[in-house]
Structure 1
Amino acid sequence: MKTPPVVSPREWEAARRQLLVEERQLTHARDALAAKRRRMPWLAVEKEYEFDGPQGKVGLLDLFEGRRQLIVYRAFFEPGVTGWPDHACVGCSMVGDHVGHLAHLNARDTTLVFASRAPQADIQRVKARMGWTMPWYTITDEFDTDFDVNEWHGTNAFIRDGDKVFRTYFINARGDEALGSTWSYLDMTALGRQETWEDSPQGYPQTPPYAWWHWHDEYDGGAGPAPK
């Protein structure tokens, strides 16, 4: 292996600062892209969809768990997929391993769920084996086909206005590689991180940055006791 040169601390710092210029440009470009996502038109979801959950049959609206936004990752765990019945596909399992604590997403009025075609008994078994805690539902109809995740994994974002549900964005293929953190999930939603520094349409909910952060067991609203 031909390695890069070994240099002095001063030369190393100079090289790092040179790359830092491009890294900052990339960060600004990523912020600008997220701002465009927040201005994407919404697509009304007119069909009724049904899923199997731990407590029985539920609809798409139920997956929101009363929150305003919903993110659905289509994981491949079903007969015919490599790993069945002991594991979901290795790529989808890596995505599952990277999901951060959901209390932070919930604090931004956003719910993340996984969805597959495996029966609930198998889903609960593999969740226990892998130590995953995200809500995970069984697809029972054309949801995967209608939302472009019948042949490949992908992540759909939705928002609701009362009982009306709208599709707001979709990420798949290598785009899923960047997801997993609270920030990356919020950046794909219609409302974003909901912080005052963001370039969002007028009237969007926003709070000062950092002000809403808390320990995951001390959020108000069901994730833990109210912050003090």
Structure 2
Amino acid sequence: MKTPPIVAAEEWDAAWQEMLVKEKELMRARDALAAQRRRMPWMAVDKNYTFEGPEGRVSFLDLFDGRRQLIVYRAFIEPGTSDGDWPEHGCVGCSLMADHVPNLAHLNARDTTFVYVSRASQADLERMKSKMGWRHPWYTILPSKDAAFDVDFGVQDWHGTNVFIRDNENRVYRTYLVNGRGDEVFVNTWNLLDVTPLGRQEDWEDSPEGYPQDPPYEWWSWHDTYDQRTP
């Protein structure tokens, strides 16, 4: 592996200061994007979606848990997931995402609720939560003839995070959707790897010649199986 130049402290600090200019530009661009996001039009949610939680059936409004804002991640922790080994595990990527859900008290303090939904039964979800150590709320998407939550909000075939708000009359509006690589911001493992000299070590990255790189996705695993993999 060919390393970058090895320099003295003064030259290293100058290179860091040069990069810091670009990092601040990126931060300001992200702030501007967040400002635009706050100005997105709202879409009224008129259908009556039904879910099942640990204590039985609940409405879509119940998912807010009395708060004004709601973030819903659609996970493929359920039977039929193609890259899982159900019933031992669900989707590898969704499981990795679930491992990174923080202490939700901080979100709740800003009048915001965060939940995961899937089509697995509550019994299966409780089993999986216990096995994987997940503590955040999970709800089952219940079937309906005219109100399929995952279909209506573009997450029937792929993961995605939808955001909603309710007004004082309990009218609900959709305000945002993020999917694909947009969800990466929620995974601190990737953010932490991005500040290391080797990066994510995936072959799509622009890294110096000779750096270790593998195809993306293939190194991901369920956190309770990494020690079972062949080096």
SS in 2 for 1:156: strand
Q: Equivalents in 2 of 1:114, 1:90: separation in Å?
A: 15
Give the structure 2 partner of residue 127 of structure 1.
Answer: 129
| RMSD (Å) for aligned C-alpha atoms | 1.0
Q: Equivalents in 1 of 2:33, 2:164: separation in Å?
A: 18
SS in 1 for 2:7: coil
Identity of aligned residues (%): 64
Q: Counterpart of 1:175 in structure 2: which amino acid?
A: G
TM-score with structure 2 setting the length: 0.77
Q: Counterpart of 1:178 in structure 2: which amino acid?
A: V
Give the structure 1 partner of residue 162 of structure 2.
Answer: 156
Give the structure 2 partner of residue 209 of structure 1.
Answer: none
Deviation at 1:137, TM superposition (A): 0.3
SS in 1 for 2:6: coil
Give the paired residue count: 181
Misfit runs of 4+, over 2 Å: none
> Residue 92 in 1 paired to residue 99 in 2?
no
SS in 2 for 1:148: coil
Deviation at 1:163, TM superposition (A): 1.7
SS in 2 for 1:72: strand
SS in 2 for 1:79: coil
Deviation at 1:180, TM superposition (A): 5.2
Q: Equivalents in 2 of 1:3, 1:74: separation in Å?
A: 41
SS in 1 for 2:136: coil
Q: Counterpart of 1:31 in structure 2: which amino acid?
A: D
> Which whole-Å deviations, capped at 9, do the CAs of 1:161-209 have from their partners, x for residues lacking one?
132100000000001110258xxxxxxxxxxxxxxxxxxxxxxxxxxxx
Q: Equivalents in 2 of 1:139, 1:171: separation in Å?
A: 19
> Which whole-Å deviations, capped at 9, do the CAs of 1:104-137 have from their partners, x for residues lacking one?
0000000000000110001011111111111100
SS in 2 for 1:128: helix
- Distance of aligned partners of 1:175 and 1:35 in 2 relative to their CA distance in 1, 3 Å threshold: same
Deviation at 1:86, TM superposition (A): 1.6
Deviation at 1:14, TM superposition (A): 0.6
Q: Equivalents in 2 of 1:113, 1:8: separation in Å?
A: 49
Q: Counterpart of 2:7 in structure 1: which amino acid?
A: V
Greater Cα radius of gyration, structure 1 or 2: 2
**Contact persistence 1:100–1:180 (CA under 8 A):** no
Alignment of 1:35-184 (within 5 A): 35-81=35-81, 82-141=84-143, 142-161=148-167, 162-179=169-186
Unaligned regions of 5+ residues in structure 1, if any? 182-228
Q: Equivalents in 2 of 1:32, 1:144: separation in Å?
A: 30
**Contact persistence 1:77–1:116 (CA under 8 A):** yes
> Which whole-Å deviations, capped at 9, do the CAs of 1:41-77 have from their partners, x for residues lacking one?
1000000000111111111100000000000000001
Give the structure 2 partner of residue 27 of structure 1.
Answer: 27
Give the structure 2 partner of residue 184 of structure 1.
Answer: none
Structure 1 stretch 172-181 or stretch 159-168: which is displaced more?
A: 172-181
Deviation at 1:84, TM superposition (A): 1.4
**Contact persistence 2:77–2:95 (CA under 8 A):** no
> Which whole-Å deviations, capped at 9, do the CAs of 1:133-176 have from their partners, x for residues lacking one?
11100011310010000000000000001321000000000011
Q: Equivalents in 1 of 2:132, 2:44: separation in Å?
A: 35
**Contact persistence 1:83–1:90 (CA under 8 A):** no
TM-score with structure 1 setting the length: 0.77
Give the structure 2 partner of residue 198 of structure 1.
Answer: none
